[in-house]
Amino acid sequence: MTRAGDIQIDTGLGVTAPKGFRAGAAACGIKKTGAPDVAVLVCETDAQAAAVFTQNRVVGAPVLVSRERLSRGRAMRGIVVNSGSANACTGEQGLADAHEMTRLAAKRIGCAPDQMLVASTGVIGKALPMEKVKKGIQAACAALASGPEADEAFARAIMTTDTRLKQAGAQVQIGGRAVTIAGATKGVGMIAPNMATTLGFLATDASVEAPLLQAMLCRAADATYNCLTVDGHTSTSDTLVLMASGGAGAEPVREGSPEAETFAAALAAVCESLARQIVADAEGGTKVIEIRVTGAASEAEAHRVARAIADSPLVKCAFFGEDPNWGRIVSAAGAAGISSGPETMRLMLGGVVIFDRGAPVAADAKRLETIMRAHEIAVHLDLGAGTGEARCLTCDLTDEYVRINAHYTT
């Protein structure tokens, strides 16, 4: 277990930890490895639902289908997912296949097709092998269960080049009742802010109406998933879904109430854990790097600078080589359209000042070497121009990342 602020995070809790949810998974043959590649998450009753999706103009068919269904405000019953194929840039057939996936899952669990959401991840431009997918959905629905084994099966089935499953959960008190928020996510490459590149599925047994659920999910995503970048590339498939069953029996969470603050804090903590797990498993990555920018003229400027540093191939390569090359960091900031210059900047690596007000600062070489060798490295750049601040989570750029992505489809 870890702590995020005052919230205790349990990475042993998955999508069925909240009351009222079941999950199932199966291997249908989309992945050549024979690994699980179809999963279903189902709420036993009608659930309030919220989601955020990719802001890429090129989107997968499942994103179109799920966006449209959630826009109606109808209660949902679940989501069906496949990995290995993104079902993006697949034309009208891809759209028909996304609808068919929801129809098949809905028939098995006994709900209307438009009460099912759909998500896909994997190679772009690859048509789904629907005969295989049909059998996979049937098998996944037949395997629906609750508990750690079901959680793990679901988390593994959504993986693509991930090397480990990613899940997290938390429990908080709402009106004297224990309420759980938990979920699973995937993603290791093609990751950048604007709903980060990932699929994420969250469940809670709290009672929260859809509009408030949507607002809290947006805030949580902005502070966590949207602060991620592995390679600066926003995907076609990004989907983060949150469903609320109300199964805990707690009083409804009301906007502006202390309970709403408690729930929002727990939701953000779970999302933060999942986001960090993504960066820690980044394709080829060996470092988790947190870029913090303060003293910017505005929050927008701070975000722009943090993203420029985090996305810089030169900065990322320096971290891979464990080289404290601060010139790359300050020059990346300067190229991001800042309102100040080096004369007001102060840069720290792991808490050690190495650049201050336009000039380098002599730092203990051994201490810097220890900082750069660590798995997690903190970078803090104060621009000295205002009160704006932001952060970005990133990783190093390695030869293994190049190898993986040079041969992704061949």
102 in the same domain as 177: yes
Q: For residues 216 and 219, give the distance between their C-alpha atoms in angstroms, rounded to a whole number.
A: 5
Phi, psi of 298 (to 5 degrees): -155, 165
324 in the same domain as 190: no
pLDDT at 4: 56
Q: Out of 246, 280, 314, pick the residue that ends a domain.
A: 280
pLDDT at 322: 96
Domain that includes residue 132, residue range: 2-280
pLDDT at 242: 98
Q: Out of 251, 280, 309, pick the residue that ends a domain.
A: 280
pLDDT at 230: 83
Residue tagged 């996510």 (tokens):
185
Q: What is the mean pLDDT of each run of 10 residues along the chain (410 residues)?
A: 75 98 97 94 98 90 96 95 95 97 98 97 93 98 98 96 95 95 89 74 98 97 91 81 97 96 97 94 91 97 96 95 96 93 96 96 94 97 97 93 80
292 in the same domain as 275: no
Q: Are 392 and 229 in contact, with CB atoms under 8 Å apart? A: yes
Q: For residues 195 and 275, give the distance between their C-alpha atoms in angstroms, rounded to a whole number.
A: 11
383 in the same domain as 259: no
Beta strands at 38-53 and 388-395: parallel, antiparallel or unpaired: unpaired
Concatenating the DSSP letter of every residue in 198-257 gives: -EEEEEE-S---HHHHHHHHHHHHHHTGGGB-SSS---S--EEEEEE--TT-PPPP-TTS
Q: For residues 248 and 199, give the distance between their C-alpha atoms in angstroms, rounded to a whole number.
A: 26
pLDDT at 196: 65
CATH of the domain at 395: 3.10.20.340
244 in the same domain as 294: no
Q: Which residues pair with 174 in a beta bridge?
A: 177
67 in the same domain as 158: yes
Task: Report, as residue numbers or ranges, the catalytic residues.
Answer: 197
Q: Which residues pair with 381 in a beta bridge?
A: 293, 347
pTM: 0.91
pLDDT at 398: 92
CA neighbours closer than 13 Å in the CB half-sphere of residue 268: 18
Q: Are 24 and 154 in contact, with CB atoms under 8 Å apart? A: yes
Residue type, 268: A
Q: Is 407 exposed, middle or buried (0-12, 13-18, 19+ CB in 10 A)?
A: exposed
pLDDT at 197: 65
CATH of the domain at 260: 3.60.70.12
Q: For residues 145 and 40, give the distance between their C-alpha atoms in angstroms, rounded to a whole number.
A: 10
Q: Tens digit of pLDDT for each residue in 268-305? A: 999 999 999 999 998 889 999 999 999 999 999 999 99
> Residue 6: enclosing H or E segment and its boundaries?
none
Q: Out of 280, 314, 330, pick the residue that ends a domain.
A: 280
- The count of domains in the chain is 2
The closest alpha carbon to 353, from 376, 384, 332, belongs to: 384
